[in-house]
Amino acid sequence: MTGHLPGVAGSGPPRPGPGAGPRSGPRTGARVVAAVLAAGSGSRMGTPKAELRIGGARLVDRAVEAARDAGCARIIAVVRAGTAVPGAECVVNPAPERGLRSSLALALELAAATDPHPPPFDAIALLLVDMPGVSGDAIRAVAAAWRPGRIAIGRYGDRRGHPIVMASDQWHAAIALASPDEGARRFLDAHTDLVDAVPVRGDPADLDTPDDLARWTSV
At 70, the amino acid letter reads A
d(CA 125, CA 105): 14
What b-and-e string marks burial along 136-163, b requiring 16 or more CB atoms within 10 Å of the CB? bebbbbbbbbbeeebbbbbbbeeeebbb
| Fold entry, domain 27-218 | Spore Coat Polysaccharide Biosynthesis Protein SpsA; Chain A (3.90.550)
Q: Are the beta carbons of 164 and 157 closer than 8 angstroms?
A: no
Whole-angstrom distance, CA of residue 73 vs CA of residue 71: 6
Half-sphere exposure of 219 (CA within 13 A, CB side): 9
Share of the chain above pLDDT 90, in %: 61
Which tops the pLDDT comparison, 202 or 18?
A: 202
Question: Which residues on neighbouring strands pair with residue 159, listed in sequence order?
Answer: 156
The answer to whether residue 88 scores a pLDDT higher than 50 is yes
Specify the pTM: 0.83
Q: What angle, 0 to 180 degrees and rounded to 10, lies between the N-to-C axes of helices 59-69 and 136-145? A: 50
CB count in 10 Å sphere of residue 64: 27
Give the pLDDT score at 14. 38
The set of residues, in sequence order, having a beta carbon less than 8 Å from that of 58 and lying 6+ positions away, is 50, 51, 52
Helix (H) or strand (E) holding 145: helix 136-145
Q: Where are the domains of the chain?
A: 27-218
Per-residue pLDDT tens digits for 9-64 = 433 333 333 334 444 445 457 899 999 999 987 667 767 888 889 888 999 999 99
The single-letter code of the amino acid at 106 is L
175: number of Cβ within 10 Å = 17
